[in-house]
Amino acid sequence: MNKKLYRLVFSFLIVFSLLWLSACQPQKQEAPPVQKTVLQIGQQEVQTLDEAIYKTREFNGRKREYLSIDFSTVSHPAAITDFQQIFHLPPVRQYRTGTCWCFATTSFLESELKRLGQGEIKLSEMYTVYWQYVEKARRFIREKGNSFLGEGSESNAVTTMMKQYGAVPASAYTGLLPGQTEHDHGKLFQEIENYLDFCKKNEYWDEEKAVNYVKLILNKYLGEPPATVEINGQEMTPKEYLGQVLQLPLDDYVCLMSFKYVPFYTKGEYKAPDNWWHSQDYYNVPLDEFYQAIVNSLEKGYSVVFGGDVSEPGISGDQGLAIVPTFDLLPALVNQDSREFRFYNQTSTDDHAIHAVGLARQGDHTWFLIKDSGAGAHRGPYKGYEFFRDDFVRLKMLTFMVHKDAVIDLLAKFEARTK
């Protein structure tokens, strides 16, 4: 066999062997196509991108750098008068206290008094704050130190304290000692905290004596609250003043939240440290209904109290504005899960309470007029007010309180579920 024929036969054998081996191998199955989840934001997303920038502010003689945005690119209502407003008394400052919960809710109840035909009455925030400290101390002793102790609280704490201790006009109890013009609870809280820490370390659980000692501390810094007040020449107790003069329907105020850790259309606990008594009276609803209930309430003339997060780059006391910057989240992507994620990882925390008293529409956005007792709002251009955009409310406002009549249709879903 010549070499040429030999090579031809050899090549044929190799090709035949490879084909035979290939035929004997099990056939590889084609993988099914991967089903991709496509995220679509309308037909087109057109908006100005917000750039993260650092700014500097001087606070107590020290300069502090913080992350913010250029608010000059944000289109917003020009003035407070652009808002459809609900009656409210002028903003007041909480100064150096952690009592926003009481200032905001007291403001809300003052608006309710006017709505219910009881007139314009300025109530004492510090009367409620005094008794809240007393009850915090009482629970701390009863729980043998296993109860959260802080200056903060929630809106429904105000109505709870009023039911127990009544209320008084602001003129009857300011919580300021002679010569004082601004609240400062730094030393007050430190002294209460030190005393209760002493009780815990030494296992001193005499409730009556401990509570009485805390009252002495409160009297030292706030003054003793009045046992009676004189109204139109008549002397009455704070509880009589609440029942006979104010006649506030305290049982008719409800709190709502929107979280996935509790089944929707059921009541549950708002899991925030300032809910120190673990109230489970929060109506839990999906975000879209939560937000729409806020809008509907304001449109119908009911103001609301917000509890939420204001420690964000998208809020500026200097500018009096609050939005969600696009470097955080596109407004169209604010939904139940993005809200839940931030609460879960504690980038959304319950750090402030404010009173929503108006609405305005501008372009594609709804804006909320916020009455705020915090220092930032009083530093800004609107002197005690801020403008919150709809995306900020949806993402960062975690709870709200309102009269039940404002959300009667929503509450009916809870009744239907229990039947």
> What mean pLDDT is reported for the chain?
91
SS (H, E, C) 233-255: CEEECHHHHHHHHHCCCHHHEEE
Domains in the chain: boundaries: 53-418
pLDDT at 347 over 60: yes
Q: For 53-418, CATH number?
A: 3.90.70.10
The pLDDT tens digits for 211-232 are 999 999 999 999 999 999 999 9
pLDDT at 9 over 50: no
Q: What's the pLDDT band for 61 if we cut at 50, 70, 90? A: confident
Q: Which of 170, 28, 33, 107 is nearest to 305 (CA)?
A: 107
Phi, psi angle pair for 92, to nearest 5°: -125, 155
Question: Cα separation of 80 and 101, whole Å?
Answer: 23
pLDDT at 84 over 90: yes
In terms of residues, how long is the chain?
419
pTM attached to this predicted model? 0.88
Range from 66-75, 162-171, 175-184, 294-303 carrying the lowest mean pLDDT: 66-75
Q: What is the pLDDT of residue 415?
A: 82
Q: Which of 58, 64, 77, 81 is nearest to 323 (CA)?
A: 77
> Higher-confidence residue: 30 or 275?
275
Q: What is the pLDDT of residue 8?
A: 47
> Higher-confidence residue: 9 or 150?
150
Q: What's the pLDDT band for 32 if we cut at 50, 70, 90? A: low
Radius of gyration, CA atoms only, the chain: 30
Q: What is the pLDDT of residue 400?
A: 98
Contact 267, 281 (CB under 8 A): yes
Contact 372, 381 (CB under 8 A): no
201-219 average pLDDT score = 97
Q: What is the pLDDT of residue 24?
A: 45
Phi, psi angle pair for 274, to nearest 5°: -70, -10
User: Scanning the structure block, which residue is given the tokens 């926003």?
Assistant: 100
Question: Cα separation of 154 and 123, whole Å?
Answer: 18
Q: What is the pLDDT of residue 403?
A: 98
pLDDT at 26 over 70: no
Rounded percentage of the chain residues whose pLDDT exceeds 70: 88
169-180 average pLDDT score = 97
Q: What is the pLDDT of residue 47?
A: 62
Q: What's the pLDDT band for 239 if we cut at 50, 70, 90? A: very high
SS3 content of the chain, % helix, strand, coil (to 5): 40, 20, 40
Q: Which of 292, 352, 385 is nearest to 85 (CA)?
A: 385
